[in-house]
């Protein structure tokens, strides 16, 4: 009687009403009902993006929206600053390279975040940089970047701040309007509790102005077309109707909870998980950890790939392993989306038993107790 539990940083579990909503007969994407659906979804996304700017959507993975941010905002030969602290920072640079945009990288060791001071210094020496490309949560390492501080730097310059919030939207705080972020891209299968296949972008006024000057080629990922049609509840190309229906269910939940509460819930789950990992006696990998997921550095004697495989096959518990250079060296546990304290307890207790099973010396219950402590503190003090 195995039960499956998904703790990967996307896809994340889908609420049951959203799952069932997808089992309805499909509708035409140009019907009045779908027009109303699209308008409703785009309006509710503003709440999650914490913005009054319009949000547009594409039928693609998050990477499609990332590519769109490059091709819709920039011109061939532009110079841009890219924060590279992991796989997804590297992705910004790869996309820019593809389109002949000159990348000024700021590199740090995987597991560290790029400090706002380094960005400020780079921008001072490169004042003509058209944009700074950053990552809210670098999913490959679990590191959070200080977007508020970065926006404080860029908003007084002509340089745009473009943020990959693919994994962290709805989990880590990102106040687009209040902080002064120019572009946020994200997607459906993370904090938004919807299956993968939809991507989103929100643009500030000055980012929209940049799209008018951009000379890079784009067609399917054209932001202006998607934006214009979206305002009418329409689309340039047949959208993933089924996923829009699931998204509406998920957004209703977030709007009911309120995005500020949603972020607080994630913060609590993250603190509980980190407290548990410390109690178990393993080091956290990220120097400035995100609410989205917790990365755990495994002792050298543990083969991380085998551990992750064993947990899934034997126990139905799916964690994520390390990517790229971190393959086999870290385990990543997401606490993201349709999750609460009970899910965190399942993730931690299974982690304890799994460690014991492979012969690692762990005190059963130590992590769970440490997590409980955080959850209980909230009840008592907030």
Q: Does residue 189 touch a copy of itself according to CB under 8 A?
A: yes
Nearer to a copy of itself, 30 or 206 (CB): 30
**Could you count the other beta carbons within 10 Å of the beta carbon of residue 165?**
31
Identify the DSSP state of 291: S
Identify the DSSP state of 195: -
**Using alpha carbons only, how large is the chain's radius of gyration in Å?**
21
Piece of the chain touching a copy of itself by CB under 8 A; list 45-53, 119-127, 312-320, 342-350: 312-320
Contacts of 128 (CB under 8 A, 6+ apart): 79
Find the binding residues for a copy of itself in span 193-222 (CB under 8 A): 195-197, 216-221
Residue of 39, 79, 118, 312 interacting with a copy of itself (CB under 8 A):
312
Q: Does residue 185 touch a copy of itself according to CB under 8 A?
A: no
Shortest separation between residue 332's beta carbon and a copy of itself, angstroms: 12
Piece of the chain touching a copy of itself by CB under 8 A; list 176-184, 239-247, 257-265, 367-375: 239-247
User: Per-residue contact track with a copy of itself, 57 to 96, x per CB under 8 A?
Assistant: --xxxxxx-xx--------------------------xx-
Q: What are residue 143's DSSP bridge partners?
A: 138, 289
Round to whole Å and give the CA distance between 132 and 54.
21
Q: Does residue 231 touch a copy of itself according to CB under 8 A?
A: no
- The candidate with the shortest Cα–Cα distance to 188, out of 22, 11, 370, is 11
Shortest separation between residue 230's beta carbon and a copy of itself, angstroms: 15
Query: Residue 320: phi, psi to the nearest 5?
Result: -105, 140
Round to whole Å and give the CA distance between 96 and 78.
9
Say if residues 84 and 113 touch (Cβ distance below 8 Å).
Answer: no
Q: Does residue 324 touch a copy of itself according to CB under 8 A?
A: no
Q: Does residue 242 touch a copy of itself according to CB under 8 A?
A: yes
Burial of 125 (0-12, 13-18, 19+ CB in 10 A): exposed
Q: Which residues bind a copy of itself (CB under 8 A)?
A: 4, 6, 8, 10-14, 19-20, 22-29, 31, 59-64, 66-67, 94-95, 98-100, 187, 189, 195-197, 216-221, 236-243, 312, 318, 320
């Amino acid at each position: 009687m195995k039960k499956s539990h998904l703790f990967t940083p996307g896809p994340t579990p889908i609420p049951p009403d959203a799952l069932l909503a997808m089992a309805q007969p499909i509708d035409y994407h140009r019907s009045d009902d779908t027009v109303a659906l699209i308008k409703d979804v785009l309006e509710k996304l503003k709440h999650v993006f914490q913005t009054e700017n319009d949000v547009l959507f594409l039928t693609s993975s998050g990477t499609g929206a990332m590519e769109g941010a490059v091709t819709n905002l920039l011109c061939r030969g532009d110079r841009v600053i890219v924060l590279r602290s992991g796989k997804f920072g590297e992705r910004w640079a790869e996309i820019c390279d593809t389109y002949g945009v000159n990348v000024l990288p700021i590199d740090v060791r995987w597991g560290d975040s790029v400090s706002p001071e380094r960005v400020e210094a780079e921008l001072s020496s490169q004042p003509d940089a058209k944009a700074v490309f950053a990552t809210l949560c670098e999913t490959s390492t679990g590191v959070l970047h200080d977007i508020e501080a970065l926006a404080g730097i860029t908003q007084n310059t002509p340089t745009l701040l473009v943020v990959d919030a693919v994994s962290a939207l709805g989990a880590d705080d990102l106040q687009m309007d209040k902080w002064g972020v120019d572009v946020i891209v994200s997607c459906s299968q993370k904090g938004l509790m919807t299956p993968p296949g939809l991507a989103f972008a929100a643009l500030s006024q000055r980012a929209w102005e940049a799209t008018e000057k951009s000379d890079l080629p784009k067609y399917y990922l054209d932001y202006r077309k998607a934006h214009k049609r979206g305002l009418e509840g329409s689309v340039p190309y047949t959208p993933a109707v089924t996923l829009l229906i699931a998204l509406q269910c998920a957004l209703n939940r977030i709007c009911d909870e309120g995005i500020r509460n949603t972020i607080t819930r994630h913060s609590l789950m993250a603190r509980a998980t980190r407290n548990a990992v410390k109690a178990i006696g393993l080091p956290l990998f990220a120097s400035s950890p995100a609410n989205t997921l917790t990365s755990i550095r495994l002792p050298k004697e543990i083969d991380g790939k085998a551990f992750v495989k064993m947990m899934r096959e034997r126990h139905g518990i799916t964690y994520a392993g390390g990517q790229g250079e971190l393959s086999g060296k870290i385990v990543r546990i997401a606490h993201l989306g349709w999750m609460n304290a009970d899910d965190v307890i399942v993730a931690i207790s299974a982690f304890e038993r799994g460690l014991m099973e492979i012969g690692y010396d762990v005190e059963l219950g130590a992590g769970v107790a440490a997590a409980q402590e955080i959850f209980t503190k909230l009840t008592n003090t907030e």
